[in-house]
Amino acid sequence: MSNKKRILTGDRPTGNLHLGHYLGSLKNRVELQNDYESYIIIADVQALTTHWEKDENLKNDIYQITLDYLAAGIDPEQSTIFIQSMIPEIHELTMYFALYTSVNVLRHNPTIKAEAEQHGFKDLTYGFLGYPVSQTADISIFKAHLVPVGEDQIPHIELARKIIRRFNDLYAPVLVEPEALIGEVPRLVGLDGNNKMSKSLNNAIYLKDSKDEIAKKINNAVTDPARIRKDDPGHPEVCSVYQYQKIFNPAEVAQIEADCRAGQIGCVACKKNLTGKIDELLEPMRERRANYTEDMVKDILLAGTKKAHNVALATMEEVREAMKISYFK
Ligand code: TRP
């Protein structure tokens, strides 16, 4: 057995991953997969907490998200990718945590509140309100030390720490209190100037976008509305393209900013330059994606889930023992 510390993180399979996912969490996962024993959960049951009535895309979304991982540089030899619903012990552990988790605490979770509003949920279901408890089980069944996530997940990791600490106090110290690891760019702005890149806001560049798609999206991105002609002085601080130049083109951004303010570079040229930079990042991802067939993805998921399941089974032995519900051993 490896004595590396563990990482557990993952996503809901609800569509392709975009640059916001990459910078918030995926990049950290790729960089750390060698130093940690890494597990990546495809949280299909958590996806059903908001989409329970329409699940026809789930299987395809699971394939797509796995391809996004592999494209981004997740190495299936180093990182174990697995499917949540195929590890029923996660749901068992969720119930044990639910025994002592306060409904009021769940109601005050700011991410839950924001998502409920976004989906128009008035009367929250038990499953939706409780998904952070299930997420705590995702993490702790692997005894993960580190959880690379975007900043919207911070309240969930804080709750996980509390639930796990309480478990260790109540029963026996068998679980590990995890820490969140937030990306260097915790929240990427959308191309429309909205403060978050998001699929539902339709303002995202996906990891699998072609150069033409990237160019089209960046051409429509919101810039400085006061700038009508190319030689008008620009105001980079209000321009979404400038925000991206800062992130994706650090070597040239100072010059671009100066030229923009002086009216010496137009938005068309600036956008073309940015398209090139983002394409440089995504081109190797498209190449890696093309190496995988559907059968290869399926084999990776089955092997990963089997390995993850064995880890989960071992933790649950300890959990039941600690709770004194392991009667006939
Ligand atoms: N809630 C996460 C998201 O929406 C997905 C997720 C499920 C997760 N289980 C997890 C993230 C465990 C980190 C750890 O992106």
Q: How far is CA 2 from CA 6, 38, 251, 302, in A?
A: 10, 11, 40, 21
Residue nearest to atom 2 of ligand 1 (CA): 11
Residue nearest to atom 13 of ligand 1 (CA): 9
Are 70 and 76 a contacting pair, CB within 8 Å? yes
Please tell me if the CB atom of residue 21 comes closer than 6 angstroms to any atom of ligand 1. no
Apex CA 91: angle with CA 88 and CA 97, to 5°? 145
Q: What is the pLDDT along the chain (329 residues), one digit of tens a residue?
A: 578 999 999 999 999 999 999 999 999 999 999 999 999 999 999 999 998 887 789 999 999 999 999 999 999 999 999 999 999 999 999 999 999 999 999 999 999 999 999 999 999 999 999 999 999 999 999 999 999 999 999 999 999 999 999 999 999 999 999 999 999 887 888 988 887 898 888 899 999 999 999 999 999 998 998 898 888 999 999 999 999 999 999 999 999 999 999 999 999 999 999 999 999 999 999 999 999 999 999 999 999 999 999 999 999 999 999 999 999 98
Please tell me if the CB atom of residue 271 comes closer than 6 angstroms to any atom of ligand 1. no
Number of H helices, E strands in the chain: 15, 5
Q: Which domain holds residue 257?
A: 211-288
- Which atom of ligand 1 is nearest to 8's Cα? 14
CA of 179 to the centre of ligand 1 (A): 14
Question: Looking at the domain assignment, is residue 169 inside a domain?
Answer: yes
Question: Looking at the domain assignment, is residue 199 inside a domain?
Answer: no
Report, in angstroms and rounded to the nearest whole number, the Rg of the chain calculated over CA atoms: 22
* CA-wise closest residue to 206 among 229, 224, 188: 188
Please tell me if the CB atom of residue 135 comes closer than 6 angstroms to any atom of ligand 1. yes
Structural tokens at position 50 = 């908001």
On whether both 282 and 299 belong to a single domain, the answer is no
Question: Looking at the domain assignment, is residue 1 inside a domain?
Answer: no
Please tell me if the CB atom of residue 157 comes closer than 6 angstroms to any atom of ligand 1. no
Please tell me if the CB atom of residue 25 comes closer than 6 angstroms to any atom of ligand 1. no
CA of 190 to the centre of ligand 1 (A): 21
On whether both 28 and 57 belong to a single domain, the answer is yes
Please tell me if the CB atom of residue 149 comes closer than 6 angstroms to any atom of ligand 1. yes
Q: What is the count of structural domains for the chain?
A: 2
Apex CA 214: angle with CA 184 and CA 111, to 5°? 45
Please tell me if the CB atom of residue 44 comes closer than 6 angstroms to any atom of ligand 1. no
Please tell me if the CB atom of residue 10 comes closer than 6 angstroms to any atom of ligand 1. yes
Are 31 and 22 a contacting pair, CB within 8 Å? no
CATH number of the CATH domain containing 252:
1.10.240.10
Question: Looking at the domain assignment, is residue 100 inside a domain?
Answer: yes
pTM of the model: 0.95
CATH number of the CATH domain containing 103:
3.40.50.620
* Cα gap 214→272, rounded to integer Å: 10
